[in-house]
Amino acid sequence: MTVPADDPLPEAVGLVRGATGNGLPLRLLGGLGVRVLCPGFPPRLRPGQDMDLACTSKGRREVAAYLEASGCTPDRRFNNLNGDQQMYFTAPSGRPVDVMVDRLVMCHTLDLRPSFRNSSLTLDPADLLLSKLQIVELNAKDLHDIAHLLSGVPVSAGGKGSGAGGKGSSAGGMAGGNGAVIDANRFGEVLAGDWGWWRTSTGNLSMLPKLLADNPALPPRGARFDPLAQAARLLEIANDVPKTLKWKTRARVGDRVKWYELPEEVAH
C-alpha cells in the first residue's frame, strides 16, 4: 500500500523502533498507536498531524538524548520548565513531537508506566482505549479511534494486554493479527479505583450505539470484532469489578460535583 507523503506513521514508528531497539522506554500513543494495532483499517490523516509519544521519567533524559541524536530539535525552554511531565520536539520532517512523561493528564489522569512492562511500539491496548474513553467531550477523531480499537482488538481477561510491533512483529498484516488484546484486568483496575474515571468511561461506552448509528461509516470494513458487543462487554466489566472505598465514597456525591477537568493546551 502506498504511504501518503503527509503520513506521520513511518517517521514515528522509525523513532520508536530505534528507541526500543536500544532498550529505551518510548511508546506510541494516540491515533498512531491505534493504527499500529489496527493496520488493516483506513488511517485517519490530517495535514500537519503531530506525533504523540510517551516515556518514563526514569528514562526521559536518555530518550531526549536519543531523539536529539535522531535529528529532532528540542524546545529547550519548554522542556526545562515542563520536562518532568511533558517534552516537545520538532522531528526532522518538521512535525511536532509531544512526549508525555509517566502520565497522560487530560479530563482524568492515566498512569502510563504499566505500559512499559513489555517491549512494544505502542502503549498497551487497554491504556490506548482508556486514553480515549476518558475524554468528556469526544470529537470525531477520538470516536474514530475508539471504533477502530473495538473493531480490531479483542477484549480479553487473560494475561497482560500486549502492545504491537515488538521483536519479530510487524505493523503490517490484518487488523488484530498481532496478538494484541484489550486487557480487562487493566481496564477494570483503573475504573475501580476512581469513580470519575468510571463515570466518564462508562458514559462514553453507553453512548457508543447512538454515536455509531449517527456515524455509520466509522466501524471499518473487515472488522474482526463487533465494536458494540465489545463495548457492552467493557460496560459489564466496569460495573462488575469490585470497587475501592475511595470509589464508593465519591460515588455517593455523584454528578453534584464535577468529576473531570477540561484540559487546556500548553503553549510551546
Q: Is the pLDDT of residue 45 over 90?
A: no
Query: What is residue 49's predicted lDDT score, i.e. its pLDDT?
Result: 85
% pLDDT > 70, the chain: 88
Lowest mean pLDDT among 48-52, 117-121, 192-196: 117-121
Query: What is residue 172's predicted lDDT score, i.e. its pLDDT?
Result: 32
Q: How many CB atoms lie within 10 A of CB 214?
A: 9
Tens of pLDDT, residues 51-109:
999 999 999 999 999 999 999 999 999 999 999 999 999 999 999 999 999 999 999 99
With H, G, I as helix, E, B as strand and everything else as coil, classify residue 211: helix
Tens of pLDDT, residues 169-185:
333 333 345 689 999 99
Tens of pLDDT, residues 126-146:
999 999 999 999 999 999 999
Tens of pLDDT, residues 229-251:
999 999 999 999 999 999 999 99
Which pTM value belongs to this model? 0.89
Q: Is the pLDDT of residue 264 over 70?
A: yes
Q: Residue 27: in which H helix or E strand, if any? A: strand 26-28
Which residue stretches of 22-55 are H helix?
30-37
Query: What is residue 173's predicted lDDT score, i.e. its pLDDT?
Result: 30
Lowest mean pLDDT among 28-37, 115-124, 172-181, 182-191: 172-181
- The domains of the chain are located at 9-256
Q: Residue 86: in which H helix or E strand, if any? A: strand 86-90
Mode of pairing for the β-strands spanning 51-55 and 26-28: antiparallel
Q: What is the rounded average pLDDT of the residues 196-208? A: 98
